Amino acid sequence: MILVTGGRGFLGGAIVRLLREQGEQVRSLARHPSEALEDIGVEQFIGDLTDQVLVDQAVSGCDLVYHVAAKAGVWGRYEDFYRSNVSGTQNVITACRQAGVLRLVYTSSPSVVFDGNDMEGVDETVPYPDKFHAFYPQTKALAEQLVLAANDEQLATVALRPHLIWGPGDNHLVPRILERGSKGQLRKVGAGSKLVDSVYITNAARSHLQAAAALSPGSAVAGKAYFIANNEPLPLWDLINRILAAGNLPPVTRTISPRLAYAAGAILELIYRSFNLPGEPPMTRFVAKELATAHWFDLSAAKNDFGYCPEISVEQGLQRLESWLQQGHLREA
């Protein structure tokens, strides 16, 4: 039996479907039930990662756990991010030990090592930064360290860091781009020439299965973190404009300087926090830094240690995304 936390989410759901295609018995732990998971025979546990009893029940009888669930976002209270991402992860680790689970695959993020500067061809030796620009990467870094420190002779652990996951079924990145693009709210930060690597959803999901297949106590992948991407660095705004085109929206042409974007983010954060405004600021310091810097990685470790090789190119993925959008799936979601 295999458990996928966050099994009704974008990445978690893709992992679940791949596992079911292979004939695996799968459970999902998520905050809400899913008819789609029910239709493919997935056992569902409904609730929160902070509920240790529920997590114990979901993990019981499993020999492999994919911990994908997390609180994502660029805005919110630290306590909420910590509760989901750190406390929730500790509960998963505790449950794995109690149930005798052999393998734990954790979904992390490259943002756990982002210090606000360009990341050009970096590998997994890059250290955690001294300062984070948002609570999401800060708490994900703490959780990743918990997972890697838990690796031992009884429980083998590995952390994967997929970057900017997108594709059909996306309920986060693509909808945000299309919504803001439709309202004319997008601006290029800087010249727009910085290279950024992303990862198509199927490649991201398959990387998790490949890492799990190579994972065992004492194996080459145990206790390590790995960057995951498509190995196709592109100027960020080229990718964004292609996604906009897939949604029949015009490209982004207007620009804002990185310094001005960062200053605007700082001011908007102060206003939103001071007046306890709903939603999230249209710009934050973290987003300004992300949009103005390069993010692409040396994927040699993932290729060498567990055979990662992206099968769907960016071009192929964009064609699939356009077809999905034209069928109206995003509006249905």
Q: Does residue 196 contact residue 235 with C-beta atoms inside 8 Å?
A: yes
C-alpha torsion 325→16→82→222, nearest 10 = -120
Catalytic residue among 66, 106, 136, 262: 136
CA-based R_g, the chain, Å: 19
Q: Does residue 189 contact residue 258 with C-beta atoms inside 8 Å?
A: yes
Give the list of residues 6+ apart from residue 69 with CB closer than 8 angstroms, or none.
Answer: 5, 6, 9, 12, 29, 30, 49, 84, 88
Q: Quick check: is 136 catalytic? A: yes
* φ, ψ of residue 321 in degrees (nearest 5): -65, -45
Give the list of residues 6+ apart from residue 154 with CB closer than 8 angstroms, or none.
Answer: 97, 100, 102, 217
Distance separating alpha carbons of residues 161 and 153, to the nearest angstrom: 23
Distance separating alpha carbons of residues 146 and 44, to the nearest angstrom: 26
Active site residues: 136
